[in-house]
Structure 1
Amino acid sequence: MDQQSHGQQHPEYYAPPAHIAARFYRNSLTRRKSSAASSRRNSLSSAQSRASSRSRRGSTGCQSTYIAQHLRRASIIESRKARLADRAAHAEQVRLRAALAKATPRGSNTNSEERALAAQVAKEKYLAKVAAACAEEVARAKRIAEEVKERKLAEETRQRLEMEERHAEAEKRRAEYQRNIQARRQRRAESAEQKMAVLEVIDDVEEEAVMDDNQVEDAAARRVQKAWRLYQRKKPVLAFKQLDLTTKRSQETSFEDMTALVADSTVISTTIAVLTHLELQESNDANAALNTRTFLSAYMIIGHPTSVLVKKDGAQEQDLIAKAAELIGQFEASVERLDSWNSWTVNPMQLETLSQSYTAYTSAFAAWRLQDSSVLIEGMVASFVELDAIWQTVKDDTRGEVASDYREGIRDNQVMLLSRIRKLAGPERADVLIKKAIRESRRRRPKKRPAAEVRPRGLEAANSEAGASSEHAVEEAALVTSPVGSGEINKLFTTMPSNRILTHELAIDKEFRLEDKNSDFRDELYRGICESMKVGFKAGEGAVWTVSAAENVREKLLRMLKPGNNMHKMISEALDLENINRQCQQGVFSYSGFFNFMANVLPKLCAPFRDQEVRALVEQLRADDNGDELDAMIEKLFKLLRMVDVLSLDYTNFMIMNAAPALIKEAAGYEHRIFAKELESGNIGLEQTRRWWLDAKTTLEAEADRRDPEGARNPADRPSPSKIYTHALVETAIYQGELDPEPIPETLQLDIERLQKIRVDAIRIAVIGSILLTTKNLLKRDVRSQWKTEASRLWQLLSTTPYEHDDDTEPTPAQKAFSILETAHNMPPSTKTAVSTTITRFFTQAADAMTPHAGHGIKFTDPVMKVIFARLKSHVLMRLEAESSAERVRAASSASERLAAMGMAEFTDKVAGIVDVLERVRRVDWESHGFVYQRIVGELGG
């Protein structure tokens, strides 16, 4: 009782066991915090529920459990409060920083621009550094690649030479071995055949001695059949031998006679029989005649390789010639060996060798014919396209005479070409090739802008009246481009050409339009005028320049408009010269107002195809001036004057386009009258024309005398006036050197620039054609194949670069031309050296030919260039000498094939352009000045 009361008064607390204490009294620094604030394990209710579920172990245990839970709850609450306080402090700091940044004044635009410019400069420096490093890497990689390429090429060449030597040695040993084997087999076969013949005779004698009557009849029948079979084998062999068709005869007979011989039906049927006997063909072969003609072509190839193959230096042609010679040699040996002692039967081993040679030759012939047919197809497609181009040129003839003359001839030749192309390439491929070629040809033709696109907007209201009178339209066009006003600006304006020049150009080219050919000079002149105007403004003379500029702008714009309409009245009132002069004197003239007015007016006057240029000028006129106001004002003023000049030129060209049909119709008569007046007044003479005509006449008569050694002088063989004129015109146009105006006849003075362009193009064709022809021969390629890409790139190079220049810092034109061929074709080092040397030599001669030397250029000395240039001249002369439209169409349809055979397959279009220009010049000149040439013919006697 005492102990019990003592325990109640002074309760003793006992510490829980170690593992339970470690569980409840964990260190707050090392214990893991709960990831969920609402975790059931951390809640007080959870602790109470756990406590209630346990059995009570006494008041001391319950008390300690309660204290631990309380302490843990307080710790959790404190940690959460501290975390929330940290968050609040961080949010306050972020808010303060945002307010501070918002309150801080921003930098000026200048600083931003400076930073942007600095960044741009740094970026450009970095990019330049990277580009330089990349360029060095690329150059090094190219150099390494070139070295590796050359090393591999040298190794391949060495290995190829070694392999060729080995093959040649092996082939030599194999041929010797086969020759020995064949000789031994032939001797054995002949010995066996002789033994068999002797045994047969002996057997026949023995059989006759012992046979009865029935056996005699059977033996007689067998002998008759054997004799018949022997006759059948002997008949084709003897018939072929009677033809005397041998290698020697094919070489001694002319090409035409040999062609007629192998095409003879008797020769073909006899050859079919002997080939069937030799088992080279089947007896019932449907293609026997075609295969026989292929076999007979071997005789033509051996006897006349140049005429048959056109080019016999190619690898494929050399292989075909070798196989044809091998086949004919074995064939003639086999036929020669056939005789009565071997029953007209070929040796089996010899037959096998002959069959192999026959198969090899037919395969090589088929491959060559396939390549040759591809070249023929390209040529015929080019001819078809050229006929289409001729038709596109003449179909718009308003009078219908030229179109009617050409329509039938072009259609017939195109039908013939289409039939041949379909036969060689097949119908589907032929249609695709022709459509593609015609599409590319028409795409290259300059597109004609419609009248609505080139018509100035100010003319729309007066269009009907402008088209009513062509003479009035041309007169207006001439007035538009004539100098107006006063001052220094007048020298800048392009003047209208004379009526004779205008009608002459339209007669030759109905699409002729005026062009600003002196744009570079005009730009330099503009700069000089700008400086003079600036000095004038600083000296107080700005009013004179301002009035002069306004006067020119006013006059040009008003001539583009019909008097009385709203735009005409507005420009007249706004650009009143007296008012402008008065404002300048008072110092109140506003250039900004003037520029704004012009910015509103120009888009309403320009043609639709000038909208983009005018829009750019309008933006410059309305832009604010930066820097010196005087410089900006003068720059704007002269850009405005230049654009007004361009619009005036567009207006003139539109008026010329409207008047062109009437002018073309009367061009010949007008030029005839003007030239006759000049002759009567003595302003021009005919000395150069007489000398020009006499030189051509003397040359043609000397040529006719060479063709007439007996001196018969048949009038039909003497040159006609038309032929003399054509020869003289071609000799003038296609000549080596710059065109000297002195010896040009007075009748062709208006065509000097055109003839000079033809000379330049002719020399360029000769140079590029010689380069391509030489390269093809060195690479063993077919000269008729078309290297259009290389020719186009070389033409573009020579169009923008002279043949020679003295700048050592850049590659020479010859080196650039060689790089074009080197990148397109893989060449061995020796060929590269030869091609590079050839190009340099050709360019040097072309530069000398284009340099005047005492009025004439130095003639070509290289044989290839001389031949190419002579062939070009003869081809152009041949096409121009065609008189009727049918002959012209026929010459045009065969032009591509002729040019391909001459080594100029890539220049069909260029040569056709030269022929077309010369044809138009001849037609217009003869119509206008025919009376002059008739007078000269009468004076010189023909």
Structure 2
Amino acid sequence: MSENLDKSNINETGKSKSNDSEQGLEDAVEGSEKALQKKIKSVSPSTRRVQRPHASPPRFVTVEELLETAKGVTNMALAHEIVVNGDFRIKPVELPEDSLEKRVKDIVHKAFWDCLSVQLSEDPPTYDRAIKLVGEIKETLLSFLLPGHTRLRNQITEVLDLDLIKQEAENGALDISKLAEFIIGMMGTLCAPVRDEEVKKLKDIKEIVPLFRAIFSVLDLMKVDMANFAVSSIRPHLMQQSVEYERKQFQEILEKQPNSLDFVTQWLEEAADDLLSQKYKNALPAGEGAAGSGDGPSPDPVEVQNYAYLMLLKWDHLHRPFPETVLMDHSRFQELQLQLEQLAVLGAVLLVTFSMAAPGISSRADFAEKLKMFVKILLTDMHLP
């Protein structure tokens, strides 16, 4: 009887250990995939662009032209990211705790709110800064309105009439608390559902200066929400116009800087040459050279383009500059290339293992899955392309 109990305990212990090991293996795989994503995003190889010789010297450009070109490239990159990345979202700026910018920002903000507190503590109170803040809040609330929100627009304009507020302040009849109450109520009407909790907390703040500070903090979050709403609204229109828009932008850049697409030209020429050499190598009988290869027909442009994109999956990112027209998708091509290399290694390991392993091992149902898990973990630190 005791022997049977001991055996059952041993079996249960073995099962629990196997379950724990499988769970730990799955956690390790998830951790390896997250580490891979972080590594791809954090590592961006520094490519040195070597200028190719030109028939004519480069044209000098002014600072204004450079700034205008940079602005156009920035807008194009933003539009491209919105179209390609369906999960694109604008996030609030969070400065590092130990950064100089954050320290300066905190000092300036503290000085401003301290000055406001001093003004409101005077006898009689001075409302100059407070009225300016109300004006900024008014403009922000109006910016959230859509063209059809006529009633809300009129309501905000009437209640937050700065001229009337100044007259009330001069006559000692200004009630900041009522204005704050109206502002909080309007924020609750205009905010996204995700901000309801932040707006609700504003009602618990009784002091004027902390209340204004909290109001501006929530308004900043509402601006981000409004920007993301605008992005989601214009995405369908951008998807329809993105190709023509990017073509127009690249054409304008090319007109201002004729050598701005040299690496694209080199990339496509190399793809065309490779296709021609492959065709002649397959077409000519064995022993004949490639003489007369220049007399053949030019390759199809679509075929050249497809082959050129395949070349990007084997690109030497450390030593070769990336083509300009696909530079905005540089990180995506790096990720695809890394996934392709890992898939090739994984396939080779599975092929060799199944051909060499005994039938009793390779025929197990979970053998292939466990082997793939182990290989993925081992490939976590695989070199980036």
What's the TM-score once normalised by structure 2's chain length? 0.57
Contact kept, 8 Å, 2:205 with 2:211, in 1: the verdict is no
* Superposition deviation, residue 691 in structure 1: 1.7
1:622 to partner: Cα distance: 1.2
Matched, 1:703 2:278: yes
CA distance in 1 between partners of 2:341 and 2:129 (Å): 49
* Matched residue, 1:598: 183
Taking a change above 3 Å as real, the CA distance of residues 758 and 531 of structure 1, as seen in their structure-2 partners, is farther
Query: Take 1:581 and 1:522, find their aligned partners in 2: how far apart are those partners?
Result: 40
Give, as a single letter, the amino acid of the residue that structure 2 aligns with 1:723.
E
Number of aligned residues: 304
The corresponding residue for 1:515 is 89
Letter in 2 for 1:619: K
Counterpart residue number, 1:554: 138
The residue number in structure 1 matching 2:329 is: 751
1:602, 1:614 within 8 Å by CA — same for their partners in 2? no
Partner of 1:623: 204
Alignment pair present for 1:732 and 2:312:
yes
With over 3 angstroms needed to count, the CA separation of the structure-2 counterparts of 1:571 and 1:519, relative to structure 1, is: same
Q: 1:615 to 1:664 in 2, by over 3 A?
A: closer
Aligned to 1:934: none
2:230 to 652, 677, 681: 652
In the other structure, the counterpart of 1:488 is none
Does the CA-based 8 Å contact 1:688-1:745 persist in structure 2?
A: yes
- Alpha-carbon displacement from aligned partner over 1:907-926 (angstroms, at most 9, x marks no partner): xxxxxxxxxxxxxxxxxxxx
Find the aligned partners of 2:370 and 2:177 in 1 and give their Cα distance.
Answer: 53
Which of 245, 257, 262 is the aligned partner of 1:687? 262
Closer, same or farther: CA 532–693 of 1 in aligned 2, 3 Å: same
When you count helix as a share of all residues, which structure comes out higher? Answer: 1
Larger radius of gyration: 1
1:605 Cα shift?
Answer: 2.3
Q: Report if aligned partners of 1:583, 1:589 keep a CA contact under 8 Å in 2.
A: yes
Q: Check 1:839–1:504 CA distance in 2 against 1; reply closer, same or farther (3 A cut).
A: closer
What are the equivalent positions in structure 2 for 1:368-379 lying under 5 Å apart?
A: none
C-alpha distance in 2 between matches for 1:556 and 1:643: 12
| Residues 1:540 and 1:669: Cα distance change in structure 2 (over 3 Å) | closer
Contact residue 131 and residue 162 of structure 2 kept, 8 A: yes
Shift of residue 645, structure 1, vs aligned partner: 1.1
Kindly state the Cα deviation for residue 714 of structure 1 after the two structures are TM-superposed. 10
Describe how 1:210-249 pairs up with structure 2 within 5 A.
none
Equivalent position to 1:721, from 286, 295, 301? 301
Distance of 1:784 and 1:717 partners within structure 2: 53
Partner Cα distance (1:554, 1:677) in 2? 40
- Post-superposition Cα deviations, 1:662-700, rounded to whole Å, max 9, x if no partner, equal x54444334333322222222762211122123323333
Q: Is the 8 A contact 1:693 1:724 kept in 2?
A: yes
Is 2:145 the counterpart of 1:565?
no
Q: Which has the higher contact order (CA 8 A, sep 6+)?
A: 2
235, 244, 250: which one aligns with 1:675: 250
Closer, same or farther in 2 for the Cα pair 1:692/1:654, shift >3 Å?
Answer: closer
Match runs of 1:186-335 below 5 Å = none
After superposition, give the CA deviation of every residue in 1:295-314 in whole Å (9 maximum; x if it has no partner).
Answer: xxxxxxxxxxxxxxxxxxxx
**Cα distance in 2 between the residues matched to 1:519 and 1:567:** 30
Q: Are 1:599 and 1:622, in contact at CA under 8 Å, matched by a contact in 2?
A: yes
Superposed CA offset, 1:464-523 (max 9, x none): xxxxxxxxxxxxxxxxxxxxxxxxxxxxxxx999664566457x55x8575115654499
**Structure 2: distance between partners of 1:567 and 1:585:** 28
Q: Say if 1:499 and 1:533 are closer, same or farther in 2 by CA, change over 3 A.
A: closer
Is residue 679–residue 685 contact of structure 1 (8 Å, CA) maintained in 2? yes
Provide closer, same or farther for how the CA distance between residues 589 and 790 of structure 1 changes in structure 2, counting only shifts above 3 A. Answer: farther
- The amino acid across from 1:566 in the alignment is R
What is the one-letter code of the residue matched to 1:677? Answer: E
- Secondary structure in structure 2 of the residue aligned to 1:668: helix
Shift of 1:616: 0.8
Paired residue for 1:81? Answer: none
Please report how far the alpha carbon of residue 604 of structure 1 lies from its aligned counterpart in structure 2 after TM superposition: 2.4
Contact kept, 8 Å, 2:116 with 2:130, in 1: the verdict is no
In 2: Cα distance, 1:505 partner to 1:781 partner = 45
1:446-461 equivalences under 5 Å are none
Task: Tell me the secondary structure at the aligned position of residue 648 of structure 1.
Answer: helix
Q: Which amino acid aligns with 1:565?
A: T
- Change over 3 Å in CA distance of 1:665–1:643 after alignment to 2: closer
Q: Deviations over 1:165-222 (max 9, x none)?
A: xxxxxxxxxxxxxxxxxxxxxxxxxxxxxxxxxxxxxxxxxxxxxxxxxxxxxxxxxx
Distance change in 2, residues 1:615/1:724 (3 Å): same
8 Å Cα contact 1:558/1:568 also seen in 2: yes
2:168–2:174 CA contact under 8 A, matched in 1:
yes
Residues 339-393 of structure 1 show CA distances to partners (whole Å, capped at 9, x for unaligned) of xxxxxxxxxxxxxxxxxxxxxxxxxxxxxxxxxxxxxxxxxxxxxxxxxxxxxxx
Distance, in Å, in 2 between the alignment partners of 1:683 and 1:581 is 58
Task: Find 2:219's aligned residue among 641, 649, 652.
Answer: 641
Aligned to 2:109: 533
Report the CA distance shift for 1:678/1:737 in structure 2 as closer, same or farther (over 3 A).
Answer: closer
Q: Which residue of 2 aligns with 1:903?
A: none
Gaps of 5+ in 1: 1-140, 151-494, 795-817, 819-834, 851-856, 858-942
Question: Normalising by structure 1, what TM-score?
Answer: 0.27
Q: 2: distance between equivalents of 1:760 and 1:581? A: 64
- Give the direction of change, closer, same or farther, for the CA distance of 1:754–1:683 in structure 2 (3 Å limit): farther
The aligned amino acid for 2:109 is M
Q: Cα deviation per residue 1:513-567 (whole Å; 9 max; x = unaligned)? A: 7511565449997886455312322245887875675555433432332388120
Q: Deviations over 1:112-149 (max 9, x none)?
A: xxxxxxxxxxxxxxxxxxxxxxxxxxxxx99x957x97
Which residues in structure 2 correspond to 1:702-851 (within 5 Å)?
702-707=277-282, 708=284, 709=286, 710-711=288-289, 713=293, 719-733=299-313, 735=315, 743-762=321-340, 765=343, 780-781=361-362, 818=374, 839-840=377-378, 842-844=379-381, 846=382, 849-850=383-384
Root mean square deviation, CA, Å: 5.2
Which residue identity is paired with 2:142?
L
Answer yes or no: is the 8 Å Cα contact 1:734–1:758 preserved in 2. Answer: no
CA distance in 1: counterparts of 2:164 and 2:218, whole angstroms: 20
Offset at residue 747 of structure 1 (A): 2.1
Distance, in Å, in 1 between the alignment partners of 2:339 and 2:208 is 48
- Rate the CA distance shift 1:650–1:580 in 2: closer, same or farther, 3 A: farther
Q: What one-letter code is carried by the residue in structure 1 that aligns with 2:253?
A: E
Q: Contact 1:599–1:618 (CA<8 Å) still a contact in 2?
A: yes
Deviations 1:200-251 (A, max 9, x none): xxxxxxxxxxxxxxxxxxxxxxxxxxxxxxxxxxxxxxxxxxxxxxxxxxxx
What letter matches 2:268 in structure 1? W
SS in 2 for 1:685: coil
Q: 1:682 to 1:654 in 2, by over 3 A?
A: same
